[in-house]
Chains A and B, each alone.
Chain A
Amino acid sequence: MDYTKENDVKLPPQLICNMPELKENPFKQRIAEVFSDDASGNLSFNDFVDMFSVFSEMAPRDLKAFYAFKIYDFNNDDFICKEDLRVTLNKLTRDELAQEEVTLVCDKVIDEADLDGDEKLSYTDFENMISRAPEFLSTFHIRI
């Protein structure tokens, strides 16, 4: 398979999710979907390189924030709404948090980060929040 000539070779998401770098990541399926062309999780070589380029040390904050927003937006509606947050929290804590606690935390997140008062986070809200979090650059980073 010569991927430089044929750009059509694609890896299925199962293979991507079994990579050692992504195996323990709760968002691995979502990462594969975001970086693929058709949101199916099949990554071509170019997409694969894009993915690791964004996760590398040298990628600037804006680029990482852009893709982080896409990853956390589970229903692809260009907003992070309460449902997206609920899924995120459940993935982060392995479903250990009780449902009322999850709801409480989601409400608090929306309270903190939502600037325009529409009960969901737009990209601007998200970027503004990220700009005030210095640890974002070191956590949104995969070392290869």
Chain B
Amino acid sequence: MAGPIAAMEALHGRACRVSSISYCQHPSSGCPDDVDGFLWGRDSQEEIPLRFMALSMAEKRKLRQSESHSAGTWDLWKPQRNYLRNLGTNIQNTLVYTQLWRGSLTVIAGRFGSGIQSYFSFLRFLIFLNLLVFLLCFCFILVPTIIWQHLGNLTQIQAPPNMTDCLAYDPLQRGLVQFYEYILDVLSGTGVLEYTYLFYGYYNLGVEQAVREKTSYQLPLAYLLCMLFCQLFCLIFVIRNSVEGFKQRLIQAEDSELNYSRKAFCGWDFNLGDKKAANLKQSGMYYEFVTDLEEDRSKLHAAGRTTMQRFCIIFIRLMVNIVVLALLSAAVALVYYATTYSQEYIPGSTIFSDVNKLGLEFVQDFIIQYLPSIAIGGLNFLLPLLFNSIMAVEQYSPSTRISIMLGRSVLLRFASLGILLYALWSGITCYEDKEDCSLCGYNDKMYPCWETRVGQEMYKLAVFAFFTTLMVTLLYQFPRKLIVKYCNFRITNWWGEMEFDVPDNVLTTVYEQTVCWVGLYYCPLLPLLNLLKYTMLFYIKKIALLNTCRPATRPFRASSSKFFFYVVLLLGFVLSCIPIGYTITSLTPSRACGPFKNDDRPWDQIVAMVEAFPQWLTVIVNFLTSQLFAILIFIVSCLLISYVMIVSSTYQHTCDLLKEQLTALGKDHAFLLGRINAASGGFTTKSSFAQKSIFVRRRH
């Protein structure tokens, strides 16, 4: 190793040879947002810019002067290479400024920390996702429908001739309508809004009568393919954006051993210039250390339990889990009955005999229409509180506690949505009473156009969730802030202003996005609704946050939060694929409305399309969908996965070896320095450390 000799030269004050100092291709130019930045490889050939070196200004000037004397003709070309590279960096820097809402996010991060700011970036990401999905649907479904409807050259789809009994569907005939019914219509998607572009039932126009014979735009096929493509697109978009969060999480999980050192050395944000923020940060740091020590103490305590105590704890935890499951089943049953009741209710019929006054009828209709949403909303609010109070008995460590709490909330939310869909499905496919469905394949008396009904339920869920958030902000957060500010009693001071609860808000937002994905097939304009909703929510929550909330006493770690957001989002996505997949491949479409009147299942459209392909393409597609191909793919995937696992375990092993090498290197350093000190009579210059570090980074 040439290292020790160079070290000795450096320590005796001789400048190292500067022939390799010039500008170079530096992989990531030290950009602080680059997660990969700290995984640079550094080989000894790499050249380091002068400004990256740990020397004082005077020494850098001296080095630069000596270098410019030795510049050759090749060096004349270097400024141009620099120019291009600088241009690239400048463009990148400018693009950062064009990010939407960057100013707001910076303000939020400055006052409340990066945990809460990460929630708002997540909201922004979902807005973009919804915008893109809406644009896709708009271009491929809405625009053709609008254009050709006006041009009038689209043929209507006809239902099969032996099913004329199933065609009784007349959404436009209302008779005399009370004024409040218009309000109810807008809120629940019935009546005025039912036979519009909003819902599936409107798209019952078929094939374009084309001027050209062979190619014509088939709307039903376009509808189906667009929906499938939107799902695929969402999946790819979410995964692509979640990769960075996953990377950070993997690295962090590996190094949870460095918890305390990182907090001690990287915990203080040097950017803080405001006195209040600095005090908060110091309290935050104190709290973090205390929490970590408590966590370690509880782990020690858990490890020190006797066998008897361990059995006791396991038994208690089992009991609590059974109680939680019982509560969840009760909740789910409640939602099921609420949905069934709401579906069977006919608007206008009175339940109580003397409810004939105008206002009360409207309220009664409204409540029963919204019964599933109210049930779900109420349960999502109450049950987590119950779970929280039960958790004290289980004696988990604080971080496990948070994870389990979140897991139970996620389970609750997705279970309630799932049971709502199940209740709808059992009504539509006559799960209980097969007689009603024998004619048309679905319950045509109750649901003449069942896809629109499902779309309406999703629409109602979306609208209700938005109004709940709005009401809570207006009627709870702002009054709470006013009370705390102007009433100076001890109890109000203890109660304090509200804290922004990130996990709760994330779960609500992911739940709304899952509703949007489930409802996309039945209500193509739902992404637009979601887009507007999220935009308004961004501003409402931002204003509420900045004016009524106090910074959290428990800081939510941003580095793990991105992982959590995207995992829950992906879970919601996977769950939303199930209803759509099932609808497309197994359920009979409505005969009275929609683009698939003439088909047994929507999937038949794709089968027809494939059969219309040229021969060679049909052969390929048949092969790709055969069982043989599935088995082949499975085997190949298994091989790939085992290969990747072997490679990653080799890297892990190499990492461990390098760590040991690093230790040995450090010991060599210390030993050699000691010898040099002894040899030179104990004379060490102040800058020896600086030159030692030069040696570490420029090995030649």
A: which residues have CB within 8 A of B? 7, 20-21, 23-27, 37, 46-47, 49-50, 53, 55, 57-63, 66-68, 70, 72, 78, 85, 88-89, 92-94, 96-97, 101, 104-105, 108-109, 112-113, 115-116, 122-126, 128-143
Contact = CB atoms under 8 A, between A and B. Distances in A.
A20 to B, nearest CB: 5
A94 B282 contact: yes
Given A139-B270, A141-B32, A85 B663 contact: no
A46 B566 CA distance: 47
Interface stretch (B73-81, B196-204, B271-279): B271-279
Nearest to B297: A104
Contact of B559 (A58, A94, A135): A135
A113 B258 contact: yes
Contacts of B666: 115-116, 122, 124-125
Contact of B265 (A57, A72, A94, A115): A72
Given A94-B286, A115-B659, A141-B271, 18 more contacts: A7-B58, A24-B273, A57-B30, A60-B30, A92-B285, A96-B282, A96-B283, A96-B286, A97-B289, A105-B264, A112-B260, A116-B663, A116-B667, A122-B669, A123-B692, A123-B696, A134-B252, A136-B262
4 closest A-B pairs by CB: A46-B57, A24-B278, A60-B30, A124-B666
Contact of B689 (A63, A78, A115, A124): A78
A61 B35 contact: no
Contacts of A57: 30-32
Given A105-B260, A115-B659, A129-B265, A61 B54 contact: no
A80 B270 CA distance: 20
Interface string B343-371: 00000000000000000000000000000
A66 to B, nearest CB: 5
B270 A142 contact: yes
Nearest to A113: B261
A23 B54 contact: no
A128 B268 CA distance: 19
Contacts of B670: 116, 122
Contacts of B29: 58
Contacts of A92: 264, 267-268, 282, 285
A21 B275 CA distance: 11
Contact of B268 (A62, A85, A139): A139
B30 A124 contact: no
B290 interface: yes
Nearest to A78: B689
B258 A62 contact: no
Nearest to B53: A63
Nearest to B282: A94
Interface centre among B35, B260, B274 (most CB of A within 10 A): B260
B638 interface: no
Contacts of A142: 270-271
A29 to B, nearest CB: 14
Given A66-B693, A92-B285, A128-B662, A112 B54 contact: no
A89 B271 CA distance: 19
A62 B262 CA distance: 16
19 contacts: A57-B32, A62-B697, A85-B264, A92-B282, A93-B282, A94-B286, A113-B261, A115-B659, A122-B666, A123-B693, A124-B662, A129-B258, A130-B266, A133-B262, A133-B265, A134-B559, A135-B266, A139-B269, A142-B271
A84 to B, nearest CB: 10
Contact of A93 (B38, B248, B289, B296): B289
Nearest to A138: B32
B258 A133 contact: yes
A137 B252 CA distance: 15
Chain A interface helix/strand/loop/mixed: helix
Q: Chain B interface mostly helix, strand, loop or mixed?
A: helix
A29 B29 CA distance: 30
A140 B609 CA distance: 59
B267 A139 contact: yes
Interface residues of B, number: 63
Contacts of A122: 666, 669-670
Nearest to B57: A46
Contacts of B289: 89, 93, 97, 101, 105
Interface string B643-669: 000000000000000010011011101
A108 B285 CA distance: 16
B23 to A, nearest CB: 14
Interface string B11-33: 00000000000000010011111
Contacts of A112: 257-261
Contacts of A23: 273, 275
Contacts of B432: none
Interface string B29-60: 11111010110000000000001111011100
Contacts of B275: 23-24
Nearest to A60: B30
Contacts of A135: 262, 266, 559
Contacts of A78: 689
B393 interface: no
B446 interface: no
Nearest to B264: A109
B273 A58 contact: no
B251 interface: yes
A63 B264 contact: no
Nearest to B248: A134
Contacts of B386: none
Contact of B37 (A109, A116, A126, A137): A137
Contact of A131 (B38, B52, B252): B38
B44 to A, nearest CB: 15
A47 B57 contact: yes
Interface string B234-260: 000000000000001001100101111
A124 B665 contact: yes
A4 to B, nearest CB: 12
B293 interface: yes
Interface string B287-326: 0011001001000000000000000000000000000000
Given A63-B54, A129-B258, A141 B266 contact: no
Contacts of A115: 659, 662-663, 666
Contacts of A68: 265
Contacts of B33: 138
B265 to A, nearest CB: 7
Contacts of B52: 59-60, 62-63
Nearest to B268: A92
